[in-house]
Amino acid sequence: MAIAKNQVVVVDYKLQNGNGDGDLIEETFGSDPLSFIFGIGQMIPAFEANLENTQEGDEFSFLIEAANGYGLFEDEAVVQIPLQQFAQDGKVSEESIQVGRQLTVQDQQGQTYHGVVQSADSENVTVDFNHPMAGTDLYFTGVVRTVRDATESELDHGHAHE
Ligand SMILES: [Zn+2]
């Protein structure tokens, strides 16, 4: 069965930075394969475009440039937040501004953003809101394990069941 919309696709893959010699970012070989419903926005569109019309047993390798993956690294997404905004009961704990700490902020529209603390001084905390893989060219190699129609409850839930 060739891959098309509303099918559950199970793949094993290896993701490397840039090309087949690049640093390993993640892989499913040796652990659980990835299952997703094709064509409903679960995966980055370029990933699905590269798998479209492949079938069970097909091997694949393709490059998704950063701009088509998790986006380019944007300097504007690295922002300074006044230290005082990290205060609780008037005090800023060291833990709350520790470099590498992940945090989630919400804007007035209720949209949430995930960031990572990069640095802090006596006035500001610098937080990087870029996606952790922003600026990374994604090189995938792998194999399509199975392809099947999604069940109604899977389509309802928007994810594959095992
Ligand atoms: Zn479910």
Residue-wise pLDDT tens digits, 29-66: 999 999 999 999 999 999 999 999 899 999 999 999 99
Is 0.85 topped by the overall pTM? no
Whether residue 66 is found in the same domain as residue 79: no
The structural domain count of the chain equals 2
User: What would the pLDDT profile of 103-160 be if each residue is shown by its tens digit?
Assistant: 998 889 999 999 999 999 999 999 999 999 999 999 999 999 999 999 999 999 999 9
With cut-offs at 50, 70 and 90, classify the pLDDT of residue 27: very high
127 Cα to the center of ligand 1, angstroms = 34
Q: Which residue has the tokens 């919400």?
A: 106
Whether residue 91 is found in the same domain as residue 65: no
Residue 122 lies in domain: 75-128
Residue 109, domain CATH: 2.40.10.330
In a domain, 162, yes or no: no
Whether residue 27 is found in the same domain as residue 105: no
Q: Is 123 exposed, middle or buried (0-12, 13-18, 19+ CB in 10 A)?
A: exposed
Whether residue 35 is found in the same domain as residue 114: no
Question: For 20, left (φ over 0), alpha (ψ -120 to 50), or beta?
Answer: alpha
Residues near ligand 1 ion, CB 5 Å cutoff: 157
In a domain, 2, yes or no: no
157 Cα to the center of ligand 1, angstroms = 5
**Which string of b and e fits 86-116 if b means at least 16 CB within 10 Å?**
beeeeebeeebbeeebebeeeeeeeeeeebb
154 Cα to the center of ligand 1, angstroms = 6
Whether residue 20 is found in the same domain as residue 94: no
161 Cα to the center of ligand 1, angstroms = 6
153 Cα to the center of ligand 1, angstroms = 7
